[in-house]
Amino acid sequence: TPTTHCVSDERDWPRGERQRQSRECLSEALADHQGFRCRDGSCIDPSYVCDGEVDCSDSSDELCDECEPHQFRCDGRQCIDSSKRCDGRVDCADYTDEEDCRPTAPSCRPDQIRCSGGGCLSITRRCDGVSDCPNGEDELSCGNGRPCRPHEYKCLSGQCIDSRQKCDRLKDCPDGDDEENCVDDPKTCREDEFQCRDGTCLPSYLRCNGHADCRDSSDETECQCKDNEFQCGNKKCIDIRRKCDRRVDCEDFSDEANCECQDNEFRCGDGKCIEGRRRCDGTADCRDYSDETSCACKDNEFRCGDGSCIDIRRKCDGTADCRDYSDERNCSCKSNEFRCGDGACIDKSRQCDRTPDCRDHSDERNCPVPGCSASQFRCGDGRCIDISRKCDDRVDCPDFSDEANCVSDACRSDEFRCKSGQCIRLAGKCNRHRDCSDGSDEENCCTADEFQCKTGECIAKSHRCDGQYQCRDESDELECRTCQPGQYVCANAQCIERSQRCDGRFDCTDFSDEADCAPDAGVNIRVYPERQTIRQGQEVVFRCRDEGARRSQVKWTRPDDSPLPPQSTDARGRLTMSNVQPDHGGVYLCKAVGVPGSTSGAQKAAYLTVQPYTPPTPKPERPLGACKHDEATCQNGKCVPRKYVCDGDYDCDDGSDENNCAQPSLCEPNEMQCDNKKCILKVYLCDGDDDCGDGSDERNCRENIPGSPCRMGEYQCLSGDQCIPKSFHCDGEFDCQDKSDEIGCSPPTITQTPPEVVNAMEGETVNITCRAIGNPVPLINWRLNWGHIPPRPRVTTTSEGGFGVVTIRDVRQSDQGAWSCEAINSKQSVLATPDAILVVKNKGVCHPPLFNDKAQSGSECLRCFCFGVSQTCHSSSLNKITIPLAHEVSVATMSILPDGSYMDVTEKFRPNQNAVRSNPGNREFRIDSQVKTSDAPVHYYWSLPAEFLGNQVNSYGGHLKYTFRYQASSRPVQAADIIIKGNGITLYHTLRQSYGPLRDNSIEVQFVEGEWHRDARHSASGSPDTATREDIMLVLQNVEGVFIRASFDSELAESSIHGLEMDSASYSNPKNPPAALVEQCSCPAGYTGNSCENCAPGYIRRRSGPYLG
């Protein structure tokens, strides 16, 4: 218990008020008649210590060793009233009063009342003058008869309020007598303090600490939540880990909303809820596959070791379909196959080939070890490397044995030493990421077109073996075929004169002397593609152009000036050869016309390979009458039972019993069905490896990129001189000699999810996009309602560089539902959250360029605006919502110019904002003549806060609502009632309904044509200067100010406003009426937003043309 106390010359201690008159702190035992000193230095009545209510601003009066029987003890020794336990509001500084509480609203005891927010409150706090419920309903409909407590002030009406509310510049008594006879001594707080809205001062560290320390909770409003926090519906911030932890932490219970799974749903291991019918349906819908574990498999299914089920035909098919590879274990291997330790079968030729093919590396065990020479080092797996590579800080053996047991003064053998002396992982060297603090790990890193000297420096690969030393250690000329000084070494080791290098003529038989030549400043001939392989009898096309500054005309020739093949045409650089024959293969030259052949870049070669035509083997004639009536005849004449036709199994030797079978695919949506009906993941398509077994997954693949060292189905190692099949990339085994194929491998991560809702009219075309990153680059796959998407050509998909697009043409009702984006690579398959919900609308009365789902006739249709970039739109699927008042309303000053327009002169004639009084209970704001700081003929307006500004296009068709009241002690003045500004446009509205002083006037003004004017004088007179739909949309796109009239006479006796709100639209409340007057446009590329009002990421706006540009 604290030992310091205070003595005061006052015997009445108002609760929580800091008394600074004649206090003296003592350091002796605390006496009952003496005061208690808080840690912040203030003093309170000793009876307030450990009474369950916080009176010290730092809560030090409630740090107690023991609590009373009617109190709850927080973990931090603080005592609170037991009624505050699990009442939905945090009262303990350590949150423990709201821990281990049931997520549902607790039932209140007979001696408690329930707040509208769900919390329970002691009945003794009813009508005690202090609003304890979040909405203040515990102080509503209170009588006058209760006597006030010593720390309370009694209003003339009989109501009791906290004495601190006396003379706090806010009228808390119904008659306002709490603000009468006050000394004008404005209360100020120190720099290290925060001032509550009621004037109370608190230490700044209590601001936004997750606990309401101000009586009006204003210290916890407008707080910015951190990344690791969850924002409650009332803007309060809590630890993100408290979201859906079955404990109520938010006063509005929003942290426990939407967490429970329904009776017809299944909860995944990670807490996600899925439909119950997806449980054990053979498809993993949970990310942790928990919906497919412990399921009973069907007779035609195989149970994997983890409990999941797969088609029985996938058992022992050479491809691991179970995540634990159990479907490929205990399989009988063929005579020409080797059985791995895990039961998998590989070709016997792969055994002891120094490359592990079994996942357990059993194919490389117990192999005969070849001897290494004295100048070599033997790796742990038996292979030999040069002895100089031993302990050179670079890993050359697959098992890292060449860098084991090396003596190092700083870093281990599997580490790289930075210039600063720092040690990093060896894999961090030259990985295009700064791992050394000084960046030295990315120095002397060679690209694919460079050669690395033994010193580590990089030189152009063309300087390798060119007869000149570019490496300081002369290693660029080592192990080269010896050419005479002054000669150039071709890539195939042929020697030519150096003057013949890049002279525009091919002197090397492999044409390498003209590769990587710097183009002439004016000529740069390019051909596309540089190499083609085509079958005999087909047509081939080469294209050529001069990409230099001269833009020379070009022509095609053969190297020996022989004529082009018959049926060839050369038109503007396009060489077309029809019906090519094997003897047409070879080199074709594209030359710049009128440019000497010795000019660098004046000609370029293209290479053609023609594959001879091989006639197909004739099919055997089917014998007549060889099969019975209940049998089917195979294409090769074999007979099989008729019931075996199109049963999914190959019974005919030639597979003809499964041809032309119109049956749904047996494959999953993320799989491809091979010609032999086998299913493989789409990510294995065109990866350079025959995954189907019949080669069908490697057909119709994209052509190779011209000039690329690797084919489309290959991965280029970082060294630049080795290509491996793409299927080997990130497969867990080193295939590149520099081991770069296993560097930086990562599962997909969704970076751009599809839009939550996509609206379309029947017959339209819709594009849905999704983006992901990962290594290897993920493939974007799509599902419709967890199944297959409709077939081509109406629905097509593309996936380039991790960016996927699904295009749905001629949209139909059957296309409605959840379109799921799935990112796949060899590491993992990830689904984007949330799905894109496609909503297809029926064609109604209005058709593009008109819209309005609620229109009963054509006259009620609105024209699509879309800010001028599209004429296709329809009513959105948004629902009406209300934007409530969340921040303070200020006062602005307007001056009417001679032309009738209004100018904001607030900076020149600044109103007295301190004269604005507010009632937190009903959010009413009131001013009187004290707001005036000048006698200038200006008009005063309420200026609406930020929640009503910015992009409000979804408010079109909605209403601006408010209630105002005023007193008029002098002659009334004429002025516009509402002013709204945006995008350089000002619109005015003058009330048409009658209104008067000393009564509530409720107003609703709709954002539609006919309600607003461009000229305030026309607005008042009803003249035809009506604002168009385009005007209103332009203002709503960027609302810069909303002003509501506050002065109705020249004296401004008194004016008030409350009930401020504005309609808008969103997907947040589907039970609300639809916002049919809000358009949903089909935006062209570069535009986003319901009305195409925003630029898409990566685009900037150019101010040209109508509207926004």
Note the Cα 1100 to chain centre separation in Å. Answer: 20
Confidence of residue 623 (pLDDT cuts 50, 70, 90): very low
CA distances from 289 to 272, 292, 536, 669, 829 (A): 11, 6, 51, 17, 12
CATH code of the domain covering residue 973 = 2.60.120
- Clarify whether residues 901 and 1022 are in a common domain: yes
Mean pLDDT of 1000-1006: 94
Count Cβ atoms within 10 A of the Cβ of residue 251 and give its class: 0-12 exposed, 13-18 middle, 19 or more buried.
Answer: buried
Count Cβ atoms within 10 A of the Cβ of residue 810 and give its class: 0-12 exposed, 13-18 middle, 19 or more buried.
Answer: exposed
- Residues linked to residue 1065 through DSSP beta bridges, in sequence order: 880
- Residues linked to residue 376 through DSSP beta bridges, in sequence order: 386
- Clarify whether residues 865 and 940 are in a common domain: no
Mean pLDDT of 786-793: 86
Contact predicate 286/269, CB 8 Å? yes
DSSP state of 773: E
The pLDDT, as a whole number, for residue 87 is 73
The pLDDT, as a whole number, for residue 10 is 35
Q: Which of 743, 762, 785 is the last residue of a domain?
A: 743
- Clarify whether residues 976 and 1056 are in a common domain: yes
Q: Minimum mean pLDDT among 333-347, 708-722, 824-838, 1064-1078: which range?
A: 333-347
Contact predicate 275/786, CB 8 Å? no
User: What stretch of H or E contains 966?
Assistant: strand 959-967
- Clarify whether residues 805 and 952 are in a common domain: no
CATH code of the domain covering residue 751 = 2.60.40.10
The pLDDT, as a whole number, for residue 369 is 57
The pLDDT, as a whole number, for residue 1098 is 81
**Other beta carbons less than 10 A from residue 64's beta carbon:** 18
The pLDDT, as a whole number, for residue 17 is 38
Q: Count Cα neighbours of 35 within 13 Å in the Cβ-side half-sphere.
A: 30
All residues at 6 or more sequence positions from 296 whose CB lies less than 8 Å from its CB, including other chains: 280
The pLDDT, as a whole number, for residue 117 is 56
- Check residues 64 and 1075 and name the one with the higher pLDDT: 1075
The pLDDT, as a whole number, for residue 944 is 95
Three-state SS string over 317-335 comes to CCCCCCCCCHHHCCCCCCC
- Check residues 961 and 121 and name the one with the higher pLDDT: 961
Strands 531-535, 603-611: parallel, antiparallel or unpaired by DSSP? parallel
Structure tokens at 307: 């409990």
Q: Minimum mean pLDDT among 473-482, 951-960, 1044-1053: which range?
A: 473-482
The pLDDT, as a whole number, for residue 77 is 65
User: With 70 as the cut, is the pLDDT of residue 872 above it?
Assistant: yes
User: With 90 as the cut, is the pLDDT of residue 1029 above it?
Assistant: yes
In a domain, 457, yes or no: no
Mean pLDDT of 295-320: 79
- Clarify whether residues 945 and 823 are in a common domain: no
Q: Minimum mean pLDDT among 346-350, 574-578, 775-779: which range?
A: 346-350
Structure tokens at 631: 């049998």
Note the Cα 622 to chain centre separation in Å. Answer: 60
DSSP state of 180: S
- Clarify whether residues 886 and 1019 are in a common domain: yes
Q: Tokens 């609206």 correspond to what residue?
A: 759
Helix%, strand%, coil% for the chain, nearest 5: 10, 25, 60
User: With 50 as the cut, is the pLDDT of residue 950 above it?
Assistant: yes
In a domain, 669, yes or no: no
Give the pLDDT confidence of 174-203 residue by residue, as tens digits.
Answer: 778 887 877 655 557 877 788 887 777 777
Select from 1067, 1068, 1090, 1070 the least CA-distant residue to 1080.
1090
Select from 129, 99, 131, 105 the least CA-distant residue to 117.
105
d(CA 113, CA 786): 48
User: With 80 as the cut, is the pLDDT of residue 96 above it?
Assistant: no
- Clarify whether residues 1097 and 1062 are in a common domain: no
User: Per mean pLDDT, which of 142-151, 197-206, 626-635 is the most reliable?
Assistant: 197-206
- Clarify whether residues 896 and 983 are in a common domain: yes
d(CA 1065, CA 882): 8
- Residues linked to residue 1057 through DSSP beta bridges, in sequence order: 925, 964
The pLDDT, as a whole number, for residue 958 is 96
User: With 90 as the cut, is the pLDDT of residue 1079 above it?
Assistant: yes
d(CA 451, CA 516): 14
Contact predicate 917/926, CB 8 Å? yes
- Check residues 630 and 6 and name the one with the higher pLDDT: 630
d(CA 253, CA 250): 5
Peptide bond into 529 cis (omega under 30): yes
d(CA 209, CA 207): 6
Backbone angles phi, psi at 902, to 5 degrees: -110, 135
- Check residues 483 and 704 and name the one with the higher pLDDT: 704
DSSP string covering 473-538, please? T-GGGTT-----TTEEE-TTS-EEEGGGTTSSS--STTSGGGTTPPPPSS--EEEE-SEEEEETT-
In a domain, 934, yes or no: yes
Select from 117, 320, 304, 133 the least CA-distant residue to 215.
133
Mean pLDDT of 880-890: 91
Select from 202, 200, 182 the least CA-distant residue to 192.
202
d(CA 522, CA 725): 39
d(CA 280, CA 297): 9
Give the pLDDT confidence of 637-667 residue by residue, as tens digits.
Answer: 778 887 677 665 667 877 777 665 544 556 7
Q: Minimum mean pLDDT among 134-138, 165-169, 408-412: which range?
A: 408-412
- Clarify whether residues 894 and 1008 are in a common domain: yes
In a domain, 105, yes or no: no
Q: Which of 828, 843, 858 is the last residue of a domain?
A: 843
d(CA 865, CA 261): 42
d(CA 377, CA 135): 81
Mean pLDDT score across all residues of the chain: 78
The pLDDT, as a whole number, for residue 189 is 80
| DSSP-derived 3-state class of residue 603 | strand
CA distances from 161 to 115, 126, 165, 186, 196 (A): 19, 12, 7, 20, 17
- Clarify whether residues 887 and 953 are in a common domain: yes
The pLDDT, as a whole number, for residue 400 is 67
User: With 50 as the cut, is the pLDDT of residue 1006 above it?
Assistant: yes
CATH code of the domain covering residue 653 = 4.10.400.10
Give the pLDDT confidence of 438-475 residue by residue, as tens digits.
Answer: 777 877 788 767 888 876 678 877 777 766 677 877 78
The pLDDT, as a whole number, for residue 814 is 82
Three-state SS string over 530-588 comes to CEEEEECCCCEEEEEEECCCCCCCEEEECCCCCCCCCCEEEECCEEEECCCCHHHCEEE
Structure tokens at 754: 């599809």
Q: Which residue segment(s) compose the domain that 717 sits in?
A: 711-743
> 575-602 burial, b if ≥16 CB within 10 A, otherwise e?
bebeebeeebbeebbbbbeebeeebbbb
- Clarify whether residues 891 and 967 are in a common domain: yes
Select from 820, 837, 842, 817 the least CA-distant residue to 878.
837
Q: Minimum mean pLDDT among 8-12, 144-148, 921-925, 948-952: which range?
A: 8-12
In a domain, 461, yes or no: no
Three-point CA angle 789, 679, 339, nearest 5°:
160
Give the pLDDT confidence of 571-584 residue by residue, as tens digits.
Answer: 888 898 888 898 89
The pLDDT, as a whole number, for residue 1065 is 92
Number of domains in the chain: 6
Count Cβ atoms within 10 A of the Cβ of residue 453 and give its class: 0-12 exposed, 13-18 middle, 19 or more buried.
Answer: buried
Q: Which amino acid is at 741?
A: D
The pLDDT, as a whole number, for residue 1064 is 94
- Clarify whether residues 915 and 1041 are in a common domain: yes
Structure tokens at 111: 């001696």
DSSP state of 611: E
Q: Minimum mean pLDDT among 48-57, 415-424, 481-490, 776-785: which range?
A: 481-490
Confidence of residue 1004 (pLDDT cuts 50, 70, 90): very high
In a domain, 283, yes or no: no
Contact predicate 491/512, CB 8 Å? yes
Percent of the chain with pLDDT over 90: 16
The pLDDT, as a whole number, for residue 410 is 54
| Ranges assigned E (strand) in 103-247 | 112-114, 120-122, 152-154, 160-162, 193-195, 201-203, 229-231, 237-239
Select from 423, 401, 400 the least CA-distant residue to 410.
423
- Check residues 1040 and 697 and name the one with the higher pLDDT: 1040
In a domain, 865, yes or no: yes
User: With 60 as the cut, is the pLDDT of residue 621 above it?
Assistant: no
| DSSP-derived 3-state class of residue 832 | coil
The full length of the chain comes to 1109
Question: Which long-range contacts (C-beta less than 8 Å, at least 24 apart) are formed by 27-33?
Answer: 27/3, 28/3, 29/3, 30/1, 30/2, 30/3, 30/5, 31/5
Q: Minimum mean pLDDT among 125-139, 156-170, 1066-1080: which range?
A: 125-139
Q: Minimum mean pLDDT among 207-216, 602-611, 620-629, 730-739: which range?
A: 620-629
Confidence of residue 44 (pLDDT cuts 50, 70, 90): confident
**Other beta carbons less than 10 A from residue 539's beta carbon:** 11
The pLDDT, as a whole number, for residue 71 is 82
In a domain, 620, yes or no: no
User: What stretch of H or E contains 732?
Assistant: none
Contact predicate 802/781, CB 8 Å? no
DSSP string covering 975-1009, please? --SEEEEETTEEEEE---S---TTS-EEEEEESST
Mean pLDDT of 795-810: 93
Give the pLDDT confidence of 1049-1074 residue by residue, as tens digits.
Answer: 888 878 999 999 999 998 777 778 99
Backbone angles phi, psi at 972, to 5 degrees: -65, 155
Structure tokens at 558: 């053969």
Give the pLDDT confidence of 355-384 residue by residue, as tens digits.
Answer: 777 766 778 777 765 567 777 888 876 778
CA distances from 303 to 284, 313, 417, 636, 1021 (A): 14, 12, 50, 36, 82
User: Per mean pLDDT, which of 79-93, 406-420, 543-557 is the most reliable?
Assistant: 543-557
